[in-house]
Amino acid sequence: MVEVLLVVLAVVVIGGIWFVAMRNGLVRLNVRVDEAWSDITVQLKRRADLIPNLIEAVKGYAKHEQQVFENVTKARAATISGAALADPAQAAEAENMLQGALKSLFAVAEAYPALQASQNFLSLQAELSDTEDKIMAARRFYNGGVRELNTKILVWPNSFFAKGLGFVERAFYEVADLAAIQNAPQVKF
């Protein structure tokens, strides 16, 4: 009888240790994914802050391209809207819109050799390219965290407890037009 009680007690203790470890692991992964999403939003905000300066640099040379400037401004606003900063799917949609608008802006810039030689424009372009690289790295880090979290939620026996504890699968940051964002926008001289 004592042996059975000790075995039951050992099973309960081991089960309790496993449960605490599983929950703590899920909490750590959830925090890591939140941190990674925060990194993406910081870089998106940095890029959004650069875009008005870039527009002003181009405006001085291409005053008649008002529609291009309006499209870039609308796309920029979409990327920093509350909805886009809260949801990976909406962020990806806004990302596609901004990439298209930036391509138009850089196409306009190509028509003005003096603009292409402007140190201010070149500096802004380099900062934008650097920011695009940081966004890409932040997306990879976020998606890696989401993969780990989703895997931990879905594996057996965690799947029995994770959803009951409030842990849900997270969405990957996926862009519909991957070719449009694989490389940072560039101006050809």
Q: pLDDT tens across 56-78, in order?
A: 888 777 766 778 888 888 888 88
The mean pLDDT of the chain is 85
Confirm or reject CATH 1.10.260.40 for domain 2-181, answering yes or no: no
State residue 26's pLDDT score.
Answer: 96
Which of these, 108, 181, 185, lies nearest to 138 by C-alpha position?
181
Q: Measuring CA to CA, how many Å separate 16 from each of 38, 108, 115, 149, 165?
A: 33, 64, 66, 21, 15
16, HSE (Cβ side, Cα atoms, 13 Å)? 6
State residue 69's pLDDT score.
Answer: 82
Which of 10-14, 98-102, 145-149, 182-186 shows the lowest per-residue confidence on average (mean pLDDT)? 182-186
- pTM for the whole structure: 0.75
Over residues 7-16, the mean pLDDT reads 95
Contact status, residue 43 vs residue 138, Cβ threshold 8 Å: yes
Q: What are the pLDDT digits (tens) for 17-57?
A: 999 999 999 999 999 999 999 999 999 899 888 888 888 88
Whether residue 183 is predicted with pLDDT greater than 70 in this model: the reply is no
Whether residue 181 is predicted with pLDDT greater than 80 in this model: the reply is no
Contact status, residue 50 vs residue 72, Cβ threshold 8 Å: no
Over residues 80-84, the mean pLDDT reads 76
Name the residue ranges covered by the structural domains of the chain. Answer: 2-181
